């Protein structure tokens, strides 16, 4: 099958009404390895690149999103912590746009009824409208006539 497990997707396709950073970017703890002598655990690393994994929670701006889908976790594989844009919006949450966003479907078996869920990864952050990518349904601009 030619479809990759994880595939690129436009930010606007996932968050058509915007995404808002809730909290901070933090390291992902690796619970698959033994605890250190001091009781702490190391940071999870990407299986393909070996880079440390970071995560943040964003609020989906979709008014119709179900309660369990309002808070979305996006992960990053990066040597250093990804830095979100400065919040100049006056809101308590920082509007963000994800650069290099990818998605991977999986079956969430937590709870009584298994459901389709999505795992998101990004290469980094941008301020909204500064890294804007057209939605998949957007028409390309009309070509200009030669003068």
146: pLDDT strictly greater than 80? no
Residue ranges of the alpha helices (H) in 37-143? 67-70
Q: Residue 130: what pLDDT?
A: 58
Sheet containing strand 124-126, edge to edge, reads 7-8, 102-108, 115-122, 71-77, 53-60, 19-27, 94-99, 124-126
pLDDT, average across residues 13-37: 94
Query: pLDDT at residue 133 above 60?
Result: no
Q: Is the distance from CB of 70 to CB of 93 less than 8 angstroms?
A: no
CA 9-14-16 angle, to 5 degrees, is 125
The full set of domain ranges for the chain reads 7-32+42-126
Quote the pLDDT of residue 47: 92
Answer with the residue of higher pLDDT: 87 or 63: 87
Record: fold of 7-32+42-126: OB fold (Dihydrolipoamide Acetyltransferase, E2P) (2.40.50)
The confidence score (pLDDT) of residue 53 equals 98
């Amino acid at each position: 099958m030619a479809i990759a497990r994880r595939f690129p997707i436009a930010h606007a396709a996932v968050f058509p009404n915007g995404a808002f950073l809730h909290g901070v970017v933090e390291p992902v703890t690796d619970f698959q390895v033994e605890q250190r002598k001091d009781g702490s655990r190391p940071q999870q690393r990407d299986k393909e690149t070996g880079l440390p994994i970071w995560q943040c929670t964003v609020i989906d701006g979709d008014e119709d999103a179900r309660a369990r889908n309002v808070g979305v976790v996006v992960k990053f594989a990066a040597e250093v912590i990804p830095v979100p844009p400065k919040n100049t919006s006056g809101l308590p949450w920082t509007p963000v746009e994800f650069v290099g966003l990818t998605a991977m479907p999986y079956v969430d078996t937590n709870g009584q009824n298994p459901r389709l869920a999505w795992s998101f990864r990004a290469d980094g952050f941008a301020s909204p409208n500064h890294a804007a990518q057209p939605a998949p349904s957007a028409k390309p601009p009309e070509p200009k006539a030669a003068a």
